[in-house]
Structure 1
Amino acid sequence: MEEKEPEIQFTLVESVLIMVIMFAILGGMIIGLEMAPQVPILFVFTLLMFYGRLRKVTWDQVFDGIVEGIKPGIIPIMIFLMIGLLVSSWLRSGTIATIMVIGFHILSAQFFLPTVFIICCLIGITVGSAFTTISTMGIAFMGIGHILGFSDAVTAGAIVSGAFFGNNMSPLSDTSNLTTGLAKVNLYDHLKNMGATAIPSAMIALILFFIVGQSSGTANLAQIQLISQHLQQNFTVSAWSLLPILVLLLMAWRQVPAIPTLLVGSLTALIMIIVETPGYRVASVGDLLMNGNDAKTSSATVNRLMSGGGINNMLGSVSLIIVALALGGLLIKFGVVHTLINSIKQYVNAPGKLILLTMLSGIGVNFLVGEQYLSIILPGTTFMSSYDRLGLNRKYLTRTLASGGADVNALVPWGVSGVFVAGTLGVNPLDYVPLAFYAYIDPLVTILFGFTVVTWKYRRQRKTAVTTPTELAPQVAKDHR
């Protein structure tokens, strides 16, 4: 896949200034003034749009950039809305309550965070979607963690870390299939190579969660028992309530796409609600799906934990995605992203440097554009020829794209994944990001491997190629591609 040159190209100086000013404004308004990200991003978008007009960019080109920028977010936006339906129906049907009651009986405060991380890893590998893992098991674990005395931020960090490890290592993952399809690498070769960095990163994260978990929990056993009783009295807590989870796993195993999977999972829960609640009206179903579940029990804690979901509660996240992608669309249309990435290609002359620059490009696109697919596609198409020119196997490209694209997107407050985590789990991105250990350990380990293991293998291959008889050299070169 060849990289398409943008119609408009700002100079390198312009591009760097735009990037510096943009991050200064966003940092000052979001972190310094603690404003919601939508307004600062919209402000930067406005400045960039009119600057483009001063540079003789036509309105048609501006609008084309906006449309092209938002296009990659259409499917994630629909997934967000479907997850709003799923969460509201699972809360009302007792599915989340059942998971929480089971969790209270089998989870201890001492091992809570490591257990959450491991379970989210396994669910993520099974369903192939970090979003699905976070919006199902993640919701339940947030409630359990709150009762066990853990901060929402540290619980969210464990959930996000496990979900994104599972996303990286699953053959059903959209990002795994995107990276391998882009670079034309065998999926299972990619996953095997991905495991070389992802598994050590996960082990480090697991140790850190164990250490953090030793001092974070302040569980009150009497309160846990009381909450468990309230859940069983007010919701259907039984094996029957786990049916939507089984349906979701079955759909994932059959590799059904996310949107129909989420819809069927929601429909299963709605059927259970209607069966369990005679006289439940169609209007009530509509209100549940639109406005979310509104728990009304005698416990304020249970009411807070079991209320949420619905389309309306996802619209804030959707609006943030739209304005962030619109800004990213202008940055791409004006050639800012293209200019910045291509300005560093000249420094590529060794495997370690190439992997580092690919990673930095993915991180940069994540922060500039906020979209994980573009953070994979843009660096992938830009640096693919550099990997071929060095004779470096493209599986190292796909691993770097997965780390710098999918993982880092969860750390960007205005990124699609960061917005999703904040909206679904109800936690400020600036609070959970420092505790999402896997999401930044994996990119660091990938870079470290690039300068050590990959470089060593590359030099060994080059030495073998040089000492190979002439008649065998073409075959060796072919094997190294």
Structure 2
Amino acid sequence: MENKEKEIPFLLAILPMIIMISVMAVTIIKFEGSPHVPLIIGTIACCLIAWTQGYTWKEMEQGIVKGITLVIPAIIIIMLVGLIISSWIGGGIIASMIYYGLKLLTPSLFLVSICLICMIVSLAIGSSWSTMGTIGVAGMGIGISMGIPSPMVAGAIISGSYFGDKMSPLSDTTNLAAGVTNTDLFEHIKHMMYTTIPGLGIALIVYFILGRQFHAVDFRTGNINEIISVLEANFVISPWLFLAPLVVILLVVRKVPALPALTAGVFIGWFCHVFIQGGSIGAAVNVLHDGYFIESGNALVDNLFNRGGIQDMMFTVSLTIVAMTFAGVMEATGMLRSIVHQIMKLAKTAKSLIPATVGSAFLTNLVAAEQYISVLLPGRMFPEAYKAKNLHSKNLSRAIEDGGTLTSPLVPWNTCGVYIFSTLGVSALQYAPFAVLNYTVPIISILFAIFGIKVAYVKKGKTDVVEETAQLLGKKA
């Protein structure tokens, strides 16, 4: 595999990405189309360039297969979430959560409340996807019923979910970032607090300010009462139905893997559909595949509940496969490595190395369209550079999480962005301005590096670490 040692020149390596993003912008903004075709065009451009550089089709095909194989667990989870949504709607679980949410939550504090709720759940279970696919779906229903714009609601849900995903010791990306950089897990989590907690504080302030425009008197109370009446007329409403999400949360907290835990949630929802809501076995089975359908006479309720099922997730599955086809060729032919190497050439000092890492992780999200790659690739490529500059490895682990984990939902064709679109029904271009945590934390991370705040150095000949803030005073560690 001689070609794999040969690095494709930077200008050629970045050309497929430029082509893909340009076509993507025209397709989505001008023609309001889907991202599938632009990603396919980018893949074709990538293959043609790699072919001119001596790569064979077999090598490129192997990259495609490897890329798709990487996201097969994610694809299974996507389909399971589709099953959960349909079974929980059919079982009255989502209806009960919306019903009590409308009665208990204050409109002006809803954005703050849903962000904190999702944060707590995600911290407990370590999964943003599971949180958004369960609590997040109900939160969207409550917020939209209150008249809050769906992008705002989605942004608050995403911010809370990704805080927990990033900071939980149960999170796969948190463990991955610590493992790939050889950093102690809890040292990694502690070091992330310096950038993530201020980001959460800013997000909550923004949601509090945004929420002040939504007061109970402005919310067409009659409309909310009508929604509550429609829910009462079409579903058996009970707080006992909250046991379904609680069982899923407890299973994950008990370290049951995500797939079995979500599967248990599907069975509980199906059971509730048949034995509590009174649906037939055949109808409940069909709902799992085709999604739930209701004609309540209330357009808002119908829009909220006519969804779910395996079939509803096929757009997401196909887009995930196409995105990883592009990413697989980019990685297998060394184009992604060439782009990251070019960024590394610009990082001459510690102050520039950390921002370069954050930028590399975000760029990997753009090109590779997969959150795990955005953690793995910079995590594999930067350790020696950090050692050379006497930087502790937890700086690297924090930087790849700040730039990789958190920015993945901001990219429409990234697997996270695609998942959120299919789950919450809002596109990345719409919710991105309101996913405050996800873009403020990378900015904070870069600013801290530039000004030398909370940058950990390893003293030569010693094992202890100095939290370097003295650079602000012109001192050296």
Among 42, 45, 69, the alignment partner of 2:43 is 45
Where does residue 164 of structure 1 map in the other structure?
Answer: 162
How many angstroms does 1:21 deviate by? Answer: 2.8
Shift of 1:334: 1.7
The aligned residue for residue 80 of structure 1 is 78
Instruction: Tell me the amino acid that sits aligned with residue 292 of structure 2.
Output: N
Counterpart residue number, 1:471: none
**Mapped pair 1:151 → 2:129:** no
Q: Name structure 1 gaps, 5 residues minimum.
A: 466-473
Residue 330 of structure 2: aligned partner? 331
Is 1:320 paired with 2:328?
A: no
CA contact (8 A) 2:236 2:277 kept: no
- Give the residue type in structure 2 aligned to 1:276: I
Letter in 2 for 1:214: R
Separation of aligned partners in 2, 1:130 and 1:359: 21
In 1, Cα distance between equivalents of 2:64 and 2:455: 44
Counterparts of 1:401 and 1:47 in 2: how far apart (Å)? 28
Q: How many angstroms does 1:479 deviate by? A: 5.3
Q: Pick one of 65, 68, 85 that aligns with 1:67.
A: 65
Q: 1:140 aligns with which of 126, 138, 141?
A: 138
204-213 or 291-300, which deviates more? 291-300
In the TM superposition, residue 251 of structure 1 has moved relative to its aligned partner by 0.6
2:440 maps to what in 1? 441
* Aligned-pair CA distance for 1:126: 1.1
Deviation, 1:429, is: 1.7
Distance 1:107 1:12, change over 3 A: same
Q: For residues 365 and 238 of structure 1, what CA distance do their matches in structure 2 show?
A: 45
- C-alpha distance in structure 1 between counterparts of 2:105 and 2:158, whole Å: 19
Gaps of 5+ in 2: 468-477
CA contact (8 A) 1:352 1:454 kept: no
- Inter-CA distance 139–340: structure 2 relative to 1 (3 Å threshold): same
Compute the TM-score of the two structures, normalised by the length of structure 2: 0.93
Corresponding residue number in structure 2 for 1:300:
299
TM-score by length of 1: 0.92
What is the aligned partner in structure 1 of residue 180 from structure 2? Answer: 182
Contact 2:3-2:55 at 8 Å conserved across structures: no
C-alpha contact 1:341 1:361 (8 A) present in aligned 2:
yes
Distance 1:182 1:280, change over 3 A: same
Mapped contact 1:348–1:386 kept (Cα < 8 A): no
Deviation at 1:118, TM superposition (A): 1.1
The 3 A distance-change label for structure 1 pair 225 and 326 is: same
CA distance in 1 between counterparts of 2:342 and 2:348 reads: 14
Query: Which residue identity is paired with 1:275?
Result: F
The equivalent of 1:284 in structure 2 is 283
Q: Structure 1's 13 and 300: CA in aligned 2 closer, same or farther, altered over 3 A? A: closer
Q: Residue 243 of structure 2 corresponds to which residue in structure 1?
A: 243
Shift of 1:216: 5.2
Secondary structure in structure 1 of the residue aligned to 2:410: coil
- Report the Cα offset of residue 18 of structure 1: 3.2
**CA-CA distance at 1:96 after TM superposition:** 0.7
SS at match of 1:410: helix
SS in 1 for 2:81: helix
Worse overlay, 193-202 or 289-298: 289-298
**1:377-414 deviation digits (Å, cap 9, x = unpaired):** 00010001111222211111111111111110000000
Q: Distance in 1 between matches of 2:3 and 2:355?
A: 23
1:14 Cα deviation after fit: 1.1
Q: Report the CA distance between 1:454 and its aligned residue.
A: 4.2
CA distance in 1, matches of 2:9, 2:331: 13
Of stretches 214-223 and 186-195 in structure 1, the one that deviates more from structure 2 is 214-223
Matched, 1:379 2:378: yes
Aligned partner (choices 101, 105, 108) of residue 106 of structure 2: 108
Shift of 1:196: 1.2
**In the alignment, which of 29, 33, 36 is matched to residue 34 of structure 2?**
36
RMSD of aligned alpha carbons: 2.0
Higher alpha-carbon deviation: 340-349 or 78-87: 340-349
Residue 306 and residue 58 in structure 1: after superposition, are their counterparts in 2 closer, same or farther (change >3 A)? same
Separation in 2, partners of 1:355, 1:30: 33
Residue 426 of structure 2 corresponds to residue 427 of structure 1: yes
In structure 2, how many angstroms separate the alpha carbons of the residues matched to 1:299 and 1:455? 53
Q: Who is 2:225 aligned against?
A: 225
- Aligned residue in 2 for 1:405: 404
What is the alpha-carbon distance in structure 1 between the residues aligned to residue 69 and residue 466 of structure 2? 37
Go from structure 1 to structure 2 and tell me whether the alpha carbon gap of 1:479 and 1:296 turns closer, same or farther (over 3 Å shift).
same
Structure 2 residue aligned with 1:347: 346
TM-aligned CA deviation for residue 447 of structure 1: 1.2
Q: Counterpart of 1:34 in 2: which secondary structure?
A: coil
| 1:29 Cα deviation from its structure 2 partner | 2.2
Match of 1:99 in 2: 97
Letter in 1 for 2:247: V
Change (3 A) 1:107 1:57: same
The CA distance in 2 between the partners of 1:120 and 1:11, in whole Å, is: 44
Of 345-354 and 193-202, more deviation after overlay is shown by: 345-354
Provide Cα deviations, 1:292-338, integer angstroms capped at 9, x if missing partner.
11123233322221221100000001111110110011111221110
> How many Å separate the matches in 2 of 1:293 and 1:23?
35
Give 1:421's aligned amino acid: I
